Amino acid sequence: MTTMTDTALAEFKMPDVGEGLTEAEILKWFVAPGDTVTDGQVVCEVETAKAAVELPIPFNGVVSELRFPEGTTVDVGQVIIAVDVSGGGAPAAAAQTAAAPVEEPSPAAEAAPADEDEAAPTGRQPVLVGYGVAESSTKRRARKSAQDQADAAGTYYAAAVQAELNGSGTAAASAAPAASAASTAPAEPAAPSAPAGTRPLAKPPVRKLAKDLGVDLTAVVPSGADGIITREDVHAAVAPAPVAAPAPAAPVSAPEPVAAEAAAPAAPVAGARETRIPVKGVRKVIAQAMVGSAFTAPHVTEFVTVDVTRTMKLVDELKRDADKHGFAGLRVNPLLLISKALLVAIRRNPDVNAAWDEANQEIVQKHYVNLGIAAATPRGLVVPNIKDAHAKTLPELAASLGELVSTAKEGKTTPAAMQGGTVTISNVGVFGVDTGTPILNPGESAILAVGTIKLQPWVHKGKVKPRQVTTLALSFDHRLVDGELGSKVLADVAAILEQPKRLITWA
């Protein structure tokens, strides 16, 4: 997404992030006019209707102009930043020159002749930002123009951003040949196989993750194709490290503001009676989705109040003996057992786990459970889900919940993590609320609201005693779930929380 002008200015355009999105809001600039930028450096953070994402620049140079201020919504294809590359060379060449401390050519490459017609040795050759390696041909190709190099690099970075938003590396992989061609443009022959100490192969988002976690990529063992380091590799590298501070008690608790200056409304003017806040980005999509769900799916909500004293005792026991029960380093809270109770109830009543196909007028039965957890973030409500939660053990479920919470708290939840949910839990109890009538997440069949757990007078074994009590509310799509089925699911969840030993006998 770049163009080159006659004045050696390279222009970077707002990339097409796919999925029908046509615009994005600039949340924050990380550079200013006059700053020096290098290939792969993150220059700004933008927010689409799907998520917030950081954009890397695909060339070296000096920032000449920022075309739009923070808070501006920009259409895809508009130029957002101009960079003077007269001193840094074209994008592909800059990756080999200005970034020399990271990827330094071998002495053999420096001493090789620069004649384009002379054959170059076959071998592995570095490409942009570590997206794999490519075989060089036995005969050098013609030197590409600066315009061709800029277009190739821009296409490559736009595809990388799209791949990150889509939760896969497909788009980046499809663009890799263009980037590889750009990187082979300089006349110097390619170096032989990469020497020890060469920059590890990893995508920009993975490098950012490693930087945030303090992981040295040179010490990470790659598991991806062609030796590419994946997110899982980075997380695995920090797994043995001491566990960070515990996450909040439940994922719906408001996290610490991330980029709060971009998300928060402007301070009201003294004496003003009204403040208008533009609805855009994630908040706009939330509004549209909730309206669509509320007026498309016929909602039914049922309630049950249950004594969860035994469940709370089990939570305390698992916390005290975390090592013995396999929860070392994991957060154990009531939400964990509530999630497991819902999964067991779905296993006993599988018809509740379905979706309505309006186009084909079909009910789609799902034989897997992607468990959504509603979480409040500075940019609004998000509902990431735990993939294949039905197949996880209790410790595995605890680990997935902890990762989901920390990711949402940092505002780093990806669109892929929010897609494909089947049922959802909304823990409104952390706000001191007894219960509610939750609206279904679009495309899902049911949502369970969990109220606050507090001491109440309760008849237990014929006597009134103070017991830990909560109220559960289950909303479901009446096209898919009739009253009997919905009641069975809610009653099973309540029964498990009242007698948690049923987690064993019913599972």
* Residue 478 is a catalytic residue: yes
Reference 373, options 205, 481, 248, 500; nearest CA is 248
Count of Cβ atoms closer than 10 Å to residue 479 Cβ: 14
Residue with tokens 């889509």: 166
Kindly report the backbone phi and psi dihedral angles of residue 44, in degrees, each rounded to the nearest multiple of 5, phi listed first. -160, 165
Q: How far is CA 18 from the centre of its chain?
A: 16
The whole-angstrom separation of Cα 132 and Cα 173 is 9
Nearest one of 93, 45, 88 to 63, comparing CA atoms: 88
Q: How far apart are CA 272 and CA 144, in angstroms?
A: 59
- The neighbouring-strand residues paired with 204 are none
Strand partners, 381: 376
Q: CB 489: neighbour CB atoms within 10 A? A: 26
Give the CB-side neighbour count of residue 463, counting CA atoms within 13 A: 2
Comparing CA positions, the residue from 418, 422, 443 lying closest to residue 165 is 418
Q: Which residues contact 392 (CB under 8 A, 6 or more apart)?
A: 386, 400
Residues present in the chain in total: 507
Write the secondary structure of 179-244 as one string of H (helix), E (strand) and C (coil). Answer: HHHHHCCCCCCCCCCCCCCCCCCECHHHHHHHHHHCCCHHHCCCCCHHHCECHHHHHHHHCCCCCC
Is residue 127 helix, strand or coil?
coil
At 460, the amino acid letter reads H
**Among 235, 367, 460, 478, the one annotated catalytic:** 478
Buried residues in 108-135 as b, exposed as e (16+ CB within 10 A):
ebeebeeeeeeebeeebbbbbbbbbbbe
For β-strands 423-426 and 371-373, DSSP reports them as parallel
**What are the start-end ranges of the H helices in 256-393?**
260-263, 281-294, 309-320, 322-325, 334-348
Q: Is the CB of residue 132 less than 8 Å from the CB of residue 225?
A: yes
Active-site residue set? 478
